[in-house]
Amino acid sequence: MQKLHPLVKKVLFTKEEIESKTKEVTKEIEKYYSDKNMIDNSLLVLGLLKGCLPFFTNFCMNCDLTMEMEFMVVSSYKGTTMAETEPKILLDLQTDVRDRDILIVEDIIDTGATLKYVYDYLLDSGARSVKILTMLDKPSRRIADIQADWACFTIEPEFVIGYGLDYQEKIRNLPYVAICDTDKLKDWKW
Ligand code: IMP
Ligand code: MG
């Protein structure tokens, strides 16, 4: 086992646990889409950068559906642990989503503000269907009216790091999801 990062208070899910759960959920998603009549028989998988990356890759590599990959960057956190109120699109879709079946892949749903914004944007742009897959769900913090169709793990309202989740844009590369030791953040130096 790799040395734990000093900001880790407690590891919640190891790489192996995340990968095994992702496989299970992927099977459900394959079953759900296998009889849908999609354009080019192809699902449009939309990753919300940057946090989705490790989970997105893990899901896509395990999934047998024909898929196209798209990405968006939507701002939410600005290097702190507080969400901004109004999300902003920083990188938009590179393809026409009209009549497409879209699966959004997220790292975590917290207040849901970011996701709700993207969800409405996709439907307004003419998507035929929009479903949501998330690695982590923090339902107790939800403000926006949105929920995941598939969630790998439900967690308590704590600030988590690793497997795509950052603190000040760093440590997304930790191969596990951990609760952050927030007491250390006050005078934390990289
Ligand atoms: P929401 O709009 O409040 O649901 O926040 C969505 C985004 O905030 C997620 O996609 C993450 O990028 C980020 N975020 C939310 N909670 C955490 C956390 O506990 N650790 C790190 N990033 C988080
Ligand atoms: Mg995210």
One pLDDT digit (tens) per residue for the chain, 190 residues? 579 999 999 999 999 999 999 999 999 999 999 989 999 999 999 999 999 999 999 999 999 999 999 999 998 754 455 554 678 899 999 999 999 999 999 999 999 999 999 999 999 999 999 999 999 999 999 999 999 999 999 999 999 999 999 999 999 999 999 999 999 999 999 9
Backbone angles phi and psi of 122, in degrees to 5 = -70, -45
Q: Whose CA is nearest to atom 22 of ligand 1?
A: 165
Distance in angstroms (rounded) separating the CA atoms of residues 104 and 92: 14
Distance in angstroms (rounded) separating the CA atoms of residues 166 and 173: 9
Atom of ligand 1 nearest to the CA of 109: 4
Give the ligand with the smallest distance to the CA of 52: 2
Distance in angstroms (rounded) separating the CA atoms of residues 13 and 144: 26
Quote the radius of gyration of the chain (alpha carbons, Å).
17
pLDDT at 56 (0 to 100) = 98
- Is pTM beyond 0.75 here? yes
Cα-to-centroid distance, 187 and ligand 2 (Å)? 25
Cα-to-centroid distance, 177 and ligand 1 (Å)? 13
Distance in angstroms (rounded) separating the CA atoms of residues 119 and 102: 10
Cα-to-centroid distance, 16 and ligand 2 (Å)? 21
Pocket test for ligand 1, best of 55, 76, 88 (most atoms within 8 A of CB): 76
CB 100 within 8 A of CB 127: yes
Residues noted as catalytic: 110
Atom of ligand 1 nearest to the CA of 159: 19
